[in-house]
Amino acid sequence: AQKITQTQPGMFVQEKEAVTLDCTYDTSDPSYGLFWYKQPSSGEMIFLIYQGSYDQQNATEGRYSLNFQKARKSANLVISASQLGDSAMYFCAMSAYAGGTSYGKLTFGQGTILTVHP
Amino acid sequence: DTAVSQTPKYLVTQMGNDKSIKCEQNLGHDTMYWYKQDSKKFLKIMFSYNNKELIINETVPNRFSPKSPDKAHLNLHINSLELGDSAVYFCASSQAPGPYSHEQYFGPGTRLTVT
């Protein structure tokens, strides 16, 4: 079974500063993917970034980077140069491949509400 | 160019009724999913279909019945609605999963309110 833990219910950051959202995971599967999604107040789920368990380098997508520490089982999201539009709920999620039994389902963390102050 | 669409966006109905939510994706993906987001914003998988075949059924009451007429569509029918079914239901799609994971693209969600 997979488990995702996000220990920060809420985070605050000043506009233009960087912020790190924490995520730890637990799985016994050797092959897995880690994802971050953003859910603004409008409700849609927006894919941000993906990290594969075999990827040697940390994933980056524009202002988003994923700090992947495999030994610590952590996959923190770093948002650089925060903008007011970054205020939203952020979900960490995992998909593990167990020979087809999990078949790509995403297991989500509890989410972190990020508020960007002007 | 909506990638994953759901209808309706809002659904208000009374206990005991039967209702359906429709989902369509134009991304050419083989796999589609239904997730439920409860009032505390927790997201949980309900079902997954790969190329019209049910792959995942996560201990969902059998009042919920998914149907996939083709790989671009995955509908969710709910019988005898209960108050606890009130939630936001998200449809998602991805390339067929395997040893390497693929991102899932979500629809806009359907907010179901049972009164």
Q: Give B54's contacts in chain A (Cβ within 8 Å).
A: none
Can you tell me whether residue A10 is helix, strand or coil?
A: strand
Backbone φ and ψ of B85, nearest 5°: -80, -10
pLDDT of A13 above 80: yes
* Residue of B113, B46, B43 lying closest to B84 (CA atoms): B113
pLDDT band at B59 (very low <50, low <70, confident <90, very high): confident
Cα(A77)–Cα(A91) distance, rounded to whole angstroms? 10
Amino acid at A59: A
- Determine the length of chain B: 115
Amino acid at A3: K
Q: How many CB pairs under 8 A join A and B?
A: 82
pLDDT digits (tens, 9 = 90+) for A44-71: 999 999 999 988 899 999 999 999 999 9
A35 and B103 in contact by Cβ < 8 A?
Answer: yes
- Determine the length of chain A: 118
Query: Phi-psi category of B9—alpha, beta or left, where left has phi over 0 and alpha has psi -120 to 50?
Result: alpha
Helix, strand, coil share (%) of chain B residues, nearest 5? 5, 55, 45
Whose tokens are 């209702």? That residue is: B19
pLDDT of A1 above 90: no
Please tell me the predicted confidence (pLDDT) of residue B103: 86
Whose tokens are 């005991």? That residue is: B16
Q: Best interface-test mutation with A: which of B6, B30, B35, B43 has the largest number of A CBs within 10 A?
A: B43
Q: Give B27's contacts in chain A (Cβ within 8 Å).
A: none
What b/e readout covers B32-59, taking b as 16+ CB neighbours within 10 angstroms?
Answer: bbbbbbeeeeebbbbbbbbeeeebbeee
Looking at residues B15-40, what average pLDDT do you find?
95
A105 and B98 in contact by Cβ < 8 A?
Answer: no
Backbone φ and ψ of A79, nearest 5°: -110, 120
